[in-house]
Amino acid sequence: MADLTIYTVGWICTIEAELNAAVLFLDDEHDPPEDLHVNDNNSYVLGRIGKHNIVIAALPFGEYGLTSAATVARDMVRSFPNVRIGLMVGIGGGAPTSLNDVRLGDVVVGSPGSGTGGIFQYDYGKTIQDSNFVVTRHLNQPPQFLLTALSSIKGQYTRRGHKLESAIDEALANNPIELPGYHKPPYNSDRLFVSAYKHARDGQDCLVSCTDSSQLVFREERKQSGPKVHFGTIASANQLMKDAIIRDRLSAEKNVLCFEMEAAGLMNHFPCLVIRGICDYSDTHKNKEWQGYAAMVAAAFAKDLLHNIAPNRVEAEKKLKDAIETVSGKVDAISATVNHTHGYLQNDEARERFKAILKWMAAPDVSSNLNKALDTRQEGSGRNLITNQIYKTWKSQVNSFLWLNGIPGSGKTILSSIVIEDLRTSFGHHAVIYYYFDFADGGKQAFENALRSLICQLYGKFQIVQKFLNDLYDTCTNGQEQPSTNSLQAVFAEMARSIGELWIVLDALDECSTDERSARVLPWIKELSNSKQSNTHILVTSRPELDIEKGITAWERNKYATLVANKLIAEDICAYIKAKVRGPESKLMERWKQRDDILNKIETALLGKANGM
């Protein structure tokens, strides 16, 4: 019969794939335990890694979340009184950004930084795209000796690289039967979609239903083929994250690298390190193809880590059974917190107030302008702008301003829409707001309406700024009066200061009311750009109207940059004409397919007539 007192490391899994991966990395598997505590409902696998004796527990079949993880930990320390540390090892959803190149099969390790303990808990009321969330608390960091071991292994990986892939191959080769679902999937199955693109059909594989290649995010192939190990913040909730918009928002605001569902139930009461292999991108495009491999790479890292920890250092830690009453008492508290947060988000009064304020603001809906522009663009257009160094500098330079001007019909609105899409891909939807001035719509020509729209976009995205508009609503006798333009400017400035960094795209400034664009809009932009309390990146498109040009060029030269749309779209026009002349649906191609010389003349004539339009 196994001696339950020799086990000092508790290893907690969530699903079968994680349990199988953990067992595959044991150096020895011990006999199963027979004499568990009467109130212990867990099942266990016992074994050894190096000089550490490990007890592996999995959540009951079909159960997930904070409460379930806390219950498993509570029961574990009842039966295994000498467990000192915990490892939460398994799969999670990645949060890729331009700064954090997280990919499928990578490892994310929850470690302290930027004022967090490596894990923070959030909750949100819905699990569909565009839902809201509430950050509820930051959680304790892992024990110091685990952090020391992390520093050691980070140094080793930096100097010599890691051997996680070879460790996985060896573990699978040593298993008596083939486990095909645990090998690394093919490279082309790692597909990251733009945040706004939702999975087309529930229950249908992405390879079948999501075939629009223009919705894929281009990422350069890595120089090193193996998984990358990331150290940083992991977000934990009681529901599965499958919302790319909130994923991007949390990754930007909290530098989140990964999402999962169990760690927040453990961290404050079960000294625990969270290790996650990335199996999806926390969006609607869920699939299980990478789960087995992601579980394997997380387990491989956990084994590597244990080899960097001396057994006597683990034994010097406090026994976790001493905290059993705290863990037991917190199981119900965790459930209560989750239910309270959900109830807050569903509160009828709060929801009705939110609706009333948006109705009072009566902001014009400019999403139709964006969608129309994106629908009419030629596939692949805008590359010259997106790769332009002036544009790249504008994206990253503090308080930057870029004026994209061009003659009528030069594609400025298409380009501004491509910019919005590029910014969303780079920084997430939350950080990008936009407005389209529009000659064809009298409600979209006034500066005040532009302010209303931009404010409402922020109001719906950031809970931390809602108080500023709420206060203005109250000041206006609960919406019985209308705010002044100056008060709207003040609210927007407060919002920008609270958020910190924003990208703002204003299309067709020349279609704004003539008496406002140089007298009100440009001074407002200049004031935002000069603010030391916020970081705004503003891009404006317009015709090269004299008053706009004078207003902008009067600024200090280092305060603005300009690009001419006509020059940027020359290649796009060529591609468009070629597609129309030689495309499969072209009647010209049908008639003159044997006369390449005539087709060339047609293309040349059309290019000459286009003249940048």
- Residues 442 and 511: beta-carbon distance below 8 Å: no
Strands 52-58 and 44-49: antiparallel
Q: Give the range among 4-8, 88-92, 196-200 with minimum mean pLDDT.
A: 196-200
* Residue found under tokens 């040593």: 174
The rounded distance, in Å, linking the Cα atoms of 521 and 420 is 20
Q: How confident is the model at residue 338 (pLDDT cuts 50, 70, 90)?
A: very low
Question: Which pLDDT value is given to residue 585?
Answer: 57
- Residues 56 and 45: beta-carbon distance below 8 Å: yes
Token digits of residue 323:
């905290």
Q: How confident is the model at residue 280 (pLDDT cuts 50, 70, 90)?
A: very high
DSSP-derived secondary structure for 173-210: HHSSS--GGGSPPPGGG---B-TT---SSTTS-HHHH-
Q: Is the pLDDT higher at 607 or at 307?
A: 307
What's phi and psi for 388, nearest 5 deg? -70, 135
Q: What per-residue string of b and e applies to 44-83 under the rule 16 or more CB within 10 Å gives b? A: bbbbbbeebbbbbbbbeeeebbbbbbbbbbbbbbbbbebb
> Shortest CA distance to 70 belongs to which of 358, 316, 262, 256?
262
Residue 488: what residue type? L
Q: How confident is the model at residue 456 (pLDDT cuts 50, 70, 90)?
A: very high
Q: Give the range among 223-227, 378-382, 422-426, 583-587 with minimum mean pLDDT.
A: 583-587
The rounded distance, in Å, linking the Cα atoms of 285 and 295 is 19
- Residues 262 and 92: beta-carbon distance below 8 Å: no
13: which strand partners? 58
Query: In sequence order, which residues have a C-beta less than 8 Å from that of residue 603 and are 6 or more positions away?
Result: 577, 578, 581
How much is the average pLDDT of 170-192?
Answer: 91
Question: Which pLDDT value is given to residue 538?
Answer: 96
Question: Which pLDDT value is given to residue 95?
Answer: 92
Question: Which pLDDT value is given to residue 191?
Answer: 86
pLDDT surpasses 80 at 590: no
> Shortest CA distance to 202 belongs to which of 106, 127, 301, 101?
127
Q: How confident is the model at residue 128 (pLDDT cuts 50, 70, 90)?
A: very low
Q: Is the dihedral of CA 401, 402, 405, 410 positive or negative?
A: negative
What's phi and psi for 311, nearest 5 deg? -55, -40
The rounded distance, in Å, linking the Cα atoms of 502 and 496 is 7
pLDDT surpasses 50 at 124: no
Residue 233, helix vs strand vs coil: strand
DSSP-derived secondary structure for 267-310: TTTS-EEEEEEEEE-SSS---STTHHHHHHHHHHHHHHHHTTS-
pTM of the prediction? 0.55
229: which strand partners? 107
Give the DSSP H or E segment for 82: none
What's phi and psi for 44, nearest 5 deg? -135, 155
> Shortest CA distance to 83 belongs to which of 44, 110, 115?
44
DSSP state of 113: B
Q: Give the range among 67-71, 287-291, 338-342, 486-490 with minimum mean pLDDT.
A: 338-342
pLDDT surpasses 70 at 339: no
Q: How confident is the model at residue 384 (pLDDT cuts 50, 70, 90)?
A: confident
Q: Give the range among 48-62, 123-137, 467-481 with minimum mean pLDDT.
A: 123-137
User: Per residue in 490-527, pLDDT tens?
Assistant: 999 999 988 888 999 999 999 998 889 989 999 999 99
How much is the average pLDDT of 434-439?
Answer: 95
Q: Is the pLDDT higher at 287 or at 217?
A: 217
Query: In sequence order, which residues have a C-beta less than 8 Å from that of residue 123 and are 6 or more positions away?
Result: 133, 134, 136, 237, 238, 239, 337, 338, 341, 342
- Residues 164 and 226: beta-carbon distance below 8 Å: yes
Question: Which pLDDT value is given to residue 316?
Answer: 86
User: Per residue in 312-335, pLDDT tens?
Assistant: 988 888 787 765 444 444 444 444
User: Per residue in 148-162, pLDDT tens?
Assistant: 899 899 999 999 999
> Shortest CA distance to 70 belongs to which of 6, 121, 16, 7?
121
User: Per residue in 46-65, pLDDT tens?
Assistant: 999 999 999 999 876 655 54
Question: Which pLDDT value is given to residue 74?
Answer: 81
How much is the average pLDDT of 244-273?
Answer: 80
% of the chain at pLDDT higher than 90:
43
Q: How confident is the model at residue 269 (pLDDT cuts 50, 70, 90)?
A: low
* Residue found under tokens 């696998």: 45
Token digits of residue 26:
């044991």
User: Per residue in 533-573, pLDDT tens?
Assistant: 888 999 999 999 999 999 999 998 777 888 877 665 555 54
> Shortest CA distance to 377 belongs to which of 407, 421, 408?
421
CA distances from 536 to 245, 413, 462 (A): 20, 21, 16
